[in-house]
Structure 1
Amino acid sequence: MNVAAIFDIGKTNKKVFLFDENYKIVWEKSINLDETVDEDGFPCEDIEVLKNWVFERLSEIKTLTNYVLKAINFSTYGASFVYIDKEGKVLTPLYNYLKDYPEDLKNDFYKKYKGEEVFAVKTASPVLGSLNSGMQIYRFKEEKPDLFEKVKYCLHLPQFLSFLLTNEAYADITSVGCHTNLWNFKKMKYHKWLKSEGISVKIPPFHYGKDTIKSQDGLAVGAGLHDSSSAIIPYTINFTEPFVLLSTGTWSISLNPFNNKPLTFEELQHDCLCYLQYTEKPVKAARLFSGNEHEIQTKRLAEHFNVPVDMFKDVYFDKNVVSNLRALNFQIIYPKKYNFDILKECPFQKRELSIFKSYETAYHQLMLDLVEQQVFSTNLVIRNSPVKKIFVDGGFSKNSIFMNLLAEAFPDVEVYAASMAQASALGAALAIHQNWNPKPIQNDLIDLKFYKH
Structure 2
Amino acid sequence: MKQKVTAVFDIGKTNKKFFLFDKKYKEVYREYASFEEIKDEDGYPTENLAALQTWLKELFERILHHDKYIIKAINFSTYGASFVHLDEDGNPLTPLYNYTKEIDSNLVDNFYEKYGPELELTRTTGSPKSGLLNSGMQLYWIKHTKPEIFKKIKYSLHLPQYLSFIFTGIPFSEYTSIGCHTSLWNYEEKDYHSWVYKEEIHKILPPIVSTETSVNMNYNGKRVKIGVGIHDSSSALLPYVRSVKKPFVLVSTGTWSIALNPFSDVPLTNEETEAGCINYMRINGKPVKSSRLFLGNEYKLQVAELAKKFNVDEDYHKTVKFEYDAYFEIIKEFQYCFRWKSFSDKNMPKKTSYSYNTFEHAYHQLMIELAKLQVLSIKRIADTQEIDRLYVDGGFTDNDLYIKLLSHYLRGMKLRTTKASLGSALGAAIAISDSKLNSKFLKKNYALKKHVPFIIK
User: 1:368, 1:405 within 8 Å by CA — same for their partners in 2?
Assistant: yes
| Alignment-derived partner of residue 423 in structure 1 | 423
Query: Please, which of 207, 210, 215 is the counterpart of residue 208 of structure 1?
Result: 210
Alignment deviations for residues 314-343 of structure 1 (CA, whole Å, 9 cap, x no partner) = 111111121122235358xxxx9x999996
Q: 1:306, CA displacement in angstroms? A: 2.9
- Match for 1:46 among 41, 45, 48? 48
Flag the 1:342–1:420 CA change in 2: closer, same or farther, 3 A.
closer
Aligned residue number for residue 306 of structure 1: 311
Shift of 1:363: 1.9
Q: How far is 1:73 from its partner?
A: 0.5
User: What SS does structure 2 have at the residue aligned with 1:403?
Assistant: helix
- The question of 1:289 aligning with 2:297 is answered no
For 2:395, the equivalent position in structure 1 comes to 395
Shift of 1:291: 1.0
**Distance in 2 between the 1:433 and 1:369 partners?**
42
Asked if the contact 1:170/1:207 (under 8 Å) is kept, the reply is: yes
**Shift, 1:130, TM fit:** 1.3
Matched position secondary structure for 1:240:
coil
- Equivalent residues in 2 for 1:25-424 (5 A)? 25-217=27-219, 218-329=223-334, 344-345=344-345, 347=348, 350-352=351-353, 355-424=355-424
Contact 1:120 1:265 in 2 (8 A): no
Residue identity opposite 1:362 in structure 2: A
1:347 deviates by: 4.3
Residues 342 and 373, structure 1, Cα contact 8 Å, conserved in 2? no
Count of residues in Structure 1 that have an aligned counterpart in Structure 2? 445
Change (3 A) 1:360 1:215: farther
Q: Which structure 2 segments of 5+ residues have no match?
A: none
Counterpart AA for 1:2: K
Taking a change above 3 Å as real, the CA distance of residues 209 and 14 of structure 1, as seen in their structure-2 partners, is same
In structure 2, how many angstroms separate the alpha carbons of the residues matched to 1:290 and 1:24? 31
Moved runs in structure 1, 4+ residues, more than 4 A? 338-343, 345-349, 437-442
Report the CA distance between 1:62 and its aligned residue: 2.4
- Write the distance in 1 (CA, Å) between the matches of 2:437 and 2:256: 35
Are the structure 2 counterparts of residues 344 and 131 from structure 1 closer, same or farther at C-alpha, using a change threshold of 3 Å? farther
Whole-angstrom distance in 2 between the partners of 1:53 and 1:308: 40
Q: What is the alpha-carbon distance in structure 1 between the residues aligned to residue 339 and residue 309 of structure 2? A: 27
Contact (CA 8 Å) 2:243, 2:439: kept in 1 or not? no
Q: For residue 349 of structure 1, report the CA deviation from its aligned partner.
A: 9.1
User: Residue 210 of structure 1 aligns to a residue in which SS?
Assistant: coil
Distance 2:426 2:322 in 1: 31
Offset at 1:352? 3.2
Contact 1:14/1:31 (8 A) holds in 2:
yes
Q: Distance in 2 between matches of 1:128 and 1:69?
A: 40
Tell me by how many angstroms 1:369 deviates: 1.6
How far apart in 2 are the matches of 1:34 and 1:308? Answer: 32
Question: Matches of 1:220 and 1:438 in 2, distance apart?
Answer: 18
Q: How far, CA to CA, are the matches of 1:232 and 1:428 in structure 2? A: 10
Alpha-carbon distance between aligned partners in 1 of 2:377 and 2:103, rounded to the nearest angstrom: 26
Match of 1:320, as an amino acid? Answer: D
Q: TM-score, normalised by structure 2?
A: 0.92
Q: Which residues of structure 1 form unaligned runs of 5+?
A: none
* Distance in 2, Cα, partners of 1:268 & 1:395: 27
Which string of whole-angstrom CA distances, capped at 9 and with x for unpartnered residues, describes residues 172-199 of structure 1? 1001012111111111011121222121
RMSD between superposed Cα atoms in Å: 2.3
